[in-house]
Amino acid sequence: MDRIAFAYMGGEEFSDVFFEVYDRVRRYFRDVGLAIVPIYVGRIPLPPGTLARVETSEGYVKMYSFEAVVEALYGKLVEMKESVHDESLTKIFGLTTYPVGSRDPHLDFYKKYLGLQVTVANYHVMVLSMKPFQSENRFLFVERVFKGVLHEIGHLYGLDHCRNRCVMNPPSDVQEWDSRPPTYCNSCLKKLRDREELKPMPRFPL
d(CA 206, CA 191): 31
CA distances in angstroms from 88 to 97, 123, 155, listed in the order given? 28, 10, 20
Among candidate residues 152, 176, 196, 197, the one labeled active-site is 152
d(CA 152, CA 126): 7
8 A C-beta contact, residue 181 and residue 167: yes
Residue 12 falls in the annotated catalytic set: no
d(CA 48, CA 127): 19
For the chain, give the number of residues.
Answer: 206
| 52 Cβ contact list (under 8 Å, min separation 6) | 62, 63, 64, 65, 101, 110
State the catalytic residues: 152
